[in-house]
Structure 1
Amino acid sequence: MTVEGLSVPDWTGVSASLLLVALAAFIAYRQQLNLTRELVIAAIRAGVQLVAVGAILLIVFRHTALPGAFAWVILMVIIAGQVGGRRGAGLPQARRAATIGVAVGAASTLSALLLLGVISTEPRVVVPVGGMVVSGAMQATGIALRRIREDAHQSRPAIEARLCLGLPARQAFLPHRQSALRTALVPSIDATKVVGLISLPGAMTGLILAGVDPLTAIRYQIVVMYMLLAATALAALVAARVAERALFDPAQRLVPLPD
């Protein structure tokens, strides 16, 4: 199937790609990884979700204009907050921390891009760019919260020792917050270092496939990578601070955590 000079797989081609899923499932089965069922369910779920999202976005792009695009981005933020919060399961208010972190990171970055005129205000631009921002922010918050949970559990004696020495809760937990933020930002930093050398990222690949000149696609990808750096840093920082506050009671004592 050809759309404006671009060869796009038809539904027969999509069905044929299921052979690749079958290959992955066969490997998982033969190697006794206990992942065959999960792999098949993931593939089916991905297909159903993408078809449903494609149908909804068609309505958003044609009938709801910019308010519909923003509503869709807000929905993505809410879902991302729930997913990111699961990584910090066991932390008080983990999902709240993740949702606030993703919301601040995505809203700040996307607003800056729109206000400065870096990206268009068309829904077909706002939604995919917003999705990239929210996805990056979600991953960063999830990593940060998981590391905070691990440090709060494993390093409890050290934290309580600092509290006993008279340090306020924020200073007592500072080394662990810094560690969590470093861990959360490393994947984005590494991806930025090797972009274009090891892989051609999604935005650039999509534009090239659509027939856009590579140098034009590169400009867009540079904006995307810088935007993701800002979004992940903001999201991880905000989520870590919210989670940190929930770790201490009003008397600045570290609250009990489940094992």
Structure 2
Amino acid sequence: MTTGLSVPDWGEVAASLVLVAVAAAIAYRQRLRLTRDLIVAAVRAGIQLVAVGAVLLVVFQHAGLPGAFGWVALMIVIAGQVAGRRGAGLPHARGTATAGVAAGSVITLGTLVALGVISSESRVVVPIGGMIVSGAMQATGLALRRLREDAQSARPAIEARLSLGLSARAAFLPHQRSALRTALLPAVDSTKVVGLISLPGAMTGLILAAVDPLTAIRYQIVVMYMLLAATALAALVSTRLAERALFDHAHRLVPLIAPTPRTRWRYGPANRSDHA
């Protein structure tokens, strides 16, 4: 029985572009206005992964654990900018998102290292940190986007509660809870069905590397639990900070900042024609 992992060479990687072509053809034929975005995303992914692979090779060989934590910090900053765009229109959206991602990532990763659940080696800290930051980013983006939508659509209801004497926190609490629920549901749903519908990334990678399935399962359980913690912490911190920024010292709901044209183009309704 062969235990080595068969890794595709660059020619086989290039051949897999036929799958991108299939997805692009579907987007074009169905007039989804996503053809260009899909192709650009595929090209960017390839270039970014090659570049990151080269950088990580240097980090693993020369930078050690400090370099690994520095790389995780860089991921947090980038993730905060991405998640902040989802909440475009909220005051200090990017700073709020970065703080949320940082809180969820640092507390979760720090707990895993402090308790000895994962090894404090750069080859372990970087990929585990990346999964944590990614989960925190997604939860933060969902939470801030829901908050922005609620602050716009429910403004009369919020101001009515304020006029009845409720504090800003009490007036906005239903919407904060709604945003938290929206942010947590994907992680909760994926945790419920893990192993039944699909084998998640960490477990799949270990099995492909010929690790015993029961060993891979233990690692995947840790991954699912850490993602639950990271998403909950990131969403909670970001929604609390966003709530504070939405009200002034007199507990009045501040006007929302109009998103820039570039933000509307990226995340708003599609108003442009598709280009193949």
TM over 0.5: yes
CA displacement at 1:251 relative to structure 2: 1.0
Q: How many angstroms apart in 2 are the aligned matches of 1:166 and 1:37?
A: 51
Quote the residue 1:39 is aligned against.
Answer: 38
Distance 1:235 1:170 in 2: 19
2:71 is aligned with 1:72: yes
- Corresponding letter in the other structure for 2:152: H
Q: Is the 8 A contact 2:84 2:98 kept in 1?
A: yes
Match of 2:274 in 1: none
Q: Which runs of 5+ in 2 are unaligned?
A: 259-276
Q: Distance in 2 between matches of 1:240 and 1:34?
A: 32
Q: What letter corresponds to residue 83 of structure 2 in structure 1?
A: G
- The offset of 1:162, in angstroms, is 1.1
Which SS does the other structure have where 2:250 is aligned? Answer: coil
Q: CA deviation at 1:165?
A: 1.2
Identity of aligned pairs, percent?
Answer: 75
Distance (Å, rounded) in 2 between the aligned partners of 1:163 and 1:197: 47
Q: State how far apart, in whole Å, the 2-side matches of 1:89 and 1:34 are.
A: 22
Q: Which residue of 2 aligns with 1:214?
A: 213
The amino acid that maps onto 1:160 is E
Structure 1 residue 23: Cα displacement = 1.6
**Alpha-carbon displacement from aligned partner over 1:121-172 (angstroms, at most 9, x marks no partner):** 1101000000000000000000000111111111111111111111111111
User: What residue identity is the alignment partner of 1:13?
Assistant: E
1:32 Cα deviation after fit: 2.6
- 1:158 alignment partner in structure 2: 157
Question: Per-residue displacement from partner, 1:56-87 (whole Å, max 9, x unpaired)?
Answer: 00000000000000000000000000000111
Structure-2 separation of matches of 1:53 and 1:83: 18
* Matching residue of 1:116: 115
Residue matched to 1:106:
105
Q: Does the CA-based 8 Å contact 2:147-2:239 persist in structure 1? A: yes
The separation in 1 between residues aligned to 2:246 and 2:43, in whole angstroms, is 39
> Who is 2:91 aligned against?
92
The aligned counterpart of 1:233 is: 232
The answer for the alignment partner of 1:129 in structure 2 is 128
Most deviating of 70-79 and 164-173: 164-173
The structural deviation recorded for 1:258 is 4.5
Look up the match of 1:257: 256
Runs of 4 or more above 3 Å deviation: none
Secondary structure of the structure 2 residue equivalent to 1:89: coil
Paired position in structure 1 for 2:244: 245
**Residue 29 of structure 1: how far off its partner (Å):** 2.1
Q: Hey, what's the Cα distance between the residues in 1 that align with 2:48 and 2:109?
A: 24
Give me the whole-angstrom Cα distance separating, in 2, the residues matched to 1:213 and 1:255: 56
What is the alpha-carbon distance in structure 2 between the residues aligned to residue 239 and residue 253 of structure 1?
A: 20
Cα distance between partner residues in 1 of 2:236 and 2:182: 12
Count of matched residue pairs: 257
Distance in 1 separating the partners of 2:34 and 2:255: 34
Return the structure number with greater relative CO, CA threshold 8 A, min gap 6: 2
Per-residue CA shift, 1:217-249, capped at 9, x if unaligned?
A: 000000000000000000000000000000001
- Offset, 1:4: 7.2
Q: Which runs of 5+ in 1 are unaligned?
A: none
